[in-house]
Each structure stands twice: as C-alpha cells, then as structure tokens.
Amino acid sequence: MEVDSADKSYIRELVKRLNAIVDTPGELSESSMNSVLELSKVLMNAADKSVEAGCDPAMALQHNLVACLKIATDLKIFDTLTAQSGKSWTAAQLGKPLNADSQLIVRIMRVMTAAGFAKETGISTYASTPKSEIMTRPQSTRGLSHAFSTNIQISQKSPEFFRRIGYRSTTMSEQTPFQYAYDTEDTYYERMEKKPEIAQNFSGGVRATRGTWLEWFPVQKELLEGARDDPNAVLMVDLGGGRGRDLAAFKAQFPDAPGRFVLEDQQHTLDSTDVQGIEKLSHDFFTAQPVKGARFYHTHYILHNWDDEKSILILKQIASAMTKGYSKVILNEWILPDMGCSLYEGLIDIQMLMAFTGMERTRGQWQSIIEAAGLKLTKFWMPPGYGEGIIEASL
Ligand SMILES: C[S@@+](CC[C@H](N)C(=O)[O-])C[C@H]1O[C@@H](n2cnc3c(N)ncnc32)[C@H](O)[C@@H]1O
C-alpha cells in the first residue's frame, strides 16, 4: 500500500495532535479521551487506503444499526447486561422482561456485538462492554428517542428537499428541511413547544457527554478577577440556558463567585427546571436583553441553531445590554477547523443545517458575525485536544 507525501504529512500531523493529548501530565480526563477517540477515527480513515473503505457494503445499511440500538434500549437489554458486572445472559433472559422472542434478540444482538455495544460469551449468550453502560445513560436513550421522534424523518426527506431547491444553502427566510419533512410552518423549537414529550427528550438527550469548558477555561483570571464584588450585580447570564446545566456547573465549581446568576429561556423550558441559587427569566433572545451590565453573557449551543442573520440579531441584543470595558460575551460552541473536521463535527453541522438552517462555524465565520453585530472578537479559546471551544467577544 503506497501513501503519497500529502497523505503522509496529514497522518504525521494527526499523530502529533494525538501525542500532544496523551503526553499531557496527569490522568486523561473524559474530554481528553473523547479527543483521542475522535482523532483516532480521523487517523484511521486517513490511513485506510483500501478500496473497500470507500464502498463498505454495510454503509447503506447504517440506519439499521441505529434502529437496532433503539429496539435494544426499548427492550432494556443494556440495563440487563450491566446489572451485574461480568455476568453472561442468554438471549431468552434478555428477552424476558418484555416477553420478546429469543430469535429476534439473537438477530438484534448480532448487530450490537459486531458494533461493540455488547460481546458474545457463547452461542446466543452475551455480556456487557463499556459501550453497553453508555447505552443505559439517559442522554443515550433520550437521544435515540429524539432521533426517532424527530430527526430521522428530516434526514429521510433531505435529499428530496435539496434537489427541489437546486442544492442551495438555505436560510430561515425560506423553508427548512425540517419544515419540508413535517409539512409545517412551525420551527423546530415551536414544534417542541407544542409537544412537551419531544422537548423532554431533546433537552435530556441532545447534549453530548463531552467535558465542560469549565475544565480548561481560565475562569478565575478572565471572568472572576475584575467582577463586581456586589451581591446585586449579575455575574453570569445564560441565554437559551435550557435546564440551567451550565449555570449549575459554574456555581458548583466556583461556589464563592460573587453576584447573581440568571437563566434565560422560553417559559415552557424554564417550567421544567429549578436550580438552586439561580434566577429564571423568560426571555426571547431576539428581543432587547433585559439584564444590563452583567459580567458575562454566556450561550451554549445557541448560535449554531441559527443562520447568520438571526445570529447577528441575537448578538446585537446582547451587545446593547453590555457595559463597555466590563461585560464579556462567552460563546460556547464548536470552532471548526478549515480542514480536517472530525466526523462528529461534520455530522453536527449537517444536523444544524437540516433542523434549523443553522451551522457550525469556522474562525472566519465566527469573526464575521461578531463584527457584523458591532462586537470585537477578543479570542478563540480551544480546549486541549478536541472539543467545543469558547469564542470571547467584547464591545
Ligand atoms: C440546543 S438548546 C441549548 C440549551 C443549553 N444552552 C445547553 O447547552 O444545554 C437551545 C435552547 O434555546 C432555547 N430557545 C430557542 N429559541 C429561543 C428564543 N427565541 N429565546 C430564548 N431561548 C430560546 C430552547 O428552549 C433551548 O433551551
């Protein structure tokens, strides 16, 4: 197998990035392990020159892997497998809770074991793997439920949608693939407002299990030093903060941080959460920001839901509430490389395109919307290895 020099230098670059993560002193954190995994996948694809890699016959059947995962989680197979460490279970035992046919279980488990979600310990007998445990987590089960209640239908219609619109990028001013698939004028979020069961799976499932920015961002130096030591001053506003996970994590990690914490979102989302020590404020982020002069305005996974025009409007509303020389904007989002995106980064960008006409952005794309909103880009902060970054801006 020949590897040409361009491929070789790309492979060398990927190995260098992997080494940089593994060589950092101390234990490997969960987010570093995620980075190692993602980079390894890119490396594997870069190094695999076999013709079969490009036309794997299983490729066009990948949707059935997701379907088998959903059926297995519905049957609580992963809960059973992980109930007792090291124990083996027969197909009949795995099917028992929901009276499922053993032959059906064997057929589902062929796929699950081949994909590493369980292992065979004998004929029609299975035990757990680390991936089995991951499939018992609410993020996984809710994420799969959300895929089946909402996202798969959009993917199915998307080739037809893009053919009809002549393969252009879309914006919110026209129909989205989501609206086309559901024949609705509601946006993705408006549909969820009407269907609370879908909203629950979305909030509980879409958040990936990656580590948080608080693990690596210099919070003390950049946000707490210089913050007003006044119990009435607002330290952090989280716009579209969902159930307040980021605020809760911040408060837990910095219990002595001064000032108030404000969670802003739509009323129906706020109704489903209560976090101690955090004020809830129903607010539409396309309208004037009511909390003036906070130390920082944080958003996580918000601007990637919206096209440039809407994202600029959100940023302008934040800018109008900021105090010059004091307030900061902290955007917690993917910062895509110009080349060499991981499969996850590519897929999450496509998800944004299909569901919202949103997008994951490169540095240049971030810079351009920040400047269009009248803000100054202060710095791109990247996590060690791989993961979501922080885009910092000020007035
Ligand atoms: C992808 S979720 C991100 C939630 C949270 N920041 C997180 O990372 O877990 C997007 C959030 O934006 C909220 N949202 C959507 N449209 C909004 C609007 N116009 N004004 C305020 N919040 C909105 C949704 O309710 C949802 O909680």
Regarding whether 155 and 299 lie in a shared domain, the answer is no
pLDDT in tens, 59-102: 788 899 999 999 999 999 999 999 998 999 999 999 999 999 99
242: Cβ below 6 Å to ligand 1?
A: yes
pLDDT, residue 36, reads 83
Asked if residue 141 belongs to a domain, the reply is no
pLDDT for 208 equals 47
d(CA 312, CA 373): 5
Please report the DSSP string for 101-141 in residue order.
-HHHHHHHHHHHHHTTSSEEEETTEEE--HHHHHTTSHHHH
pTM of the predicted structure, to 2 decimals: 0.84
Distance (Å, whole) CA 384 – CA 20: 9
Computed over every residue of the chain, the mean pLDDT equals 90
Range of the domain at 24: 5-49
Does residue 23 share a domain with residue 81? no
| 11 domain-assigned | yes
* Nearest CA residue ID for atom 14, ligand 1: 240
Residues 272 and 123 in one domain: no
Three-state secondary-structure class, residue 326 = coil
Task: Identify whether residues 378 and 264 lie together within a single domain.
Answer: yes
| Cα 334 to middle of ligand 1, angstroms | 16
Give nearest CA residue, ligand 1 atom 12.
Answer: 240
pLDDT above 50: residue 289: yes
Q: In this structure, what CATH number is given to the domain that contains residue 113? A: 1.10.10.10
Same domain for 225 and 267? Answer: yes
Domain end: 110, 134, 158, which one? 134
pLDDT over 90 for what percent of the chain? Answer: 68
Active site residue 304: yes
Distance, CA of 82 to CA of 183 (rounded, Å)? 41
Pocket lining: 207 vs ligand 1, CB cutoff 6 Å: yes
55 within domain boundaries: no
Q: What's the rounded Cα separation, in Å, for the pair 37 and 39?
A: 6
**pLDDT value of position 1:** 44
Between helices 138-146 and 62-74, what is the axis angle to 10°?
A: 120
What integer pLDDT is reported at residue 50 of this predicted model? Answer: 60
Within this chain, do residues 238 and 385 fall inside the same structural domain, yes or no? yes
The answer to whether the CB of 346 falls within 8 A of the CB of 317 is no
219 and 197 both lie in a single domain? no
Same domain, 185 and 237: no
The rounded Å distance from CA 330 to ligand 1 centre is 15
351 and 371 both lie in a single domain? yes
Q: Indicate whether 160 and 218 sit together in one domain.
A: no
For the beta carbon of residue 309, count every other beta carbon within 10 angstroms.
12
Task: Indicate whether 326 and 197 sit together in one domain.
Answer: no
CA distance 352 to 359: 5
Residue 144 domain-assigned (yes or no): no
Asked whether residue 36 falls in the same domain as residue 67, the answer is: no
